[in-house]
Structure 1
Amino acid sequence: DVDTLELLEELLAEYEGTLLLVSHDRSFLDNVVTSTLVFEDDGKVSEYVGGYEDWIRQRKPNKTATLSDKASGKKAKPGKQVKSRINSSEKKKLGFNEKRELESLPDKIEALEDQQQELEQRINQSNFYQKDKETISTTMASMKQLQEDLQKLYERWEYLAEFET
């Protein structure tokens, strides 16, 4: 029943604790969860930000499928089988957590951009490369991590904004 499901989504969105949730309802998962644990083919458990659709976008192509497709002359298309099952005409609505996340993303992005600007100023100083190797390495690694984090936030913002209207 749709009303009960929506009520459950709202209650779970307000819950501040941690909950391990297993469901076959992909839309429900997308509306409720903030991270997804996935059992990968190699036996490892990986964590992805967001729900099922986010995992599909973020995951790496299956290497074994890619190898078998190359042997048969086919090109690998990650996520194609899953996408074909999802009706593209169905517009997903944002759950409570996703709405809250969408509202907070601009502030998070701005904070990371400020940090990035500070690091760029530090790197652009004339004496930066005269500093010890560890300081340079740490600063450059921080810059790389900031760029990756910003990219993920921009992608998430764009993804959530598609469903806002």
Structure 2
Amino acid sequence: MSYTGTILLVSHDRTLINNIATSTLVFEGESIVKEYVGGYDDWLRQRPQEAKPRKASFKKQDTVLAQTPIAKLKLGFKQQKELNALPDTIEWLEREQHNLFQAMGDPGFYKKDRADIIAANDRLETVKKLLEDAYARWEKLEQTRFDGENN
């Protein structure tokens, strides 16, 4: 490849950063951004060690965590199982929707019995609604999972 520009990549994936980054921009406290050569592991080796541990901020965080019920911090077993199954469900619904669109796009489709056409239209509306609901639920569960990982 002959691209000579710069790509700014924001990621929490340390392996990805280690494998592709030539330099790393790191936010270090009070609005300070420093550049280090290499990826995440290179930054760990190059960064300066803190002179004083920040005990006060840890106390505040511990207090907040102690006041928050653990059940609200992460997905339950059933929610995680549902989250894991949703991509397959969405894929199946999208295939079903695609198949219905293709069938209804065929000129011969409208030569069928009126009841069959109405049933196909009803099924398409049902699939659209199920797909909307599945995407909304997926987004909600992902947000809950994200909030739990970052609290």
When normalised by structure 2's length, the TM-score is 0.48
Larger radius of gyration: 2
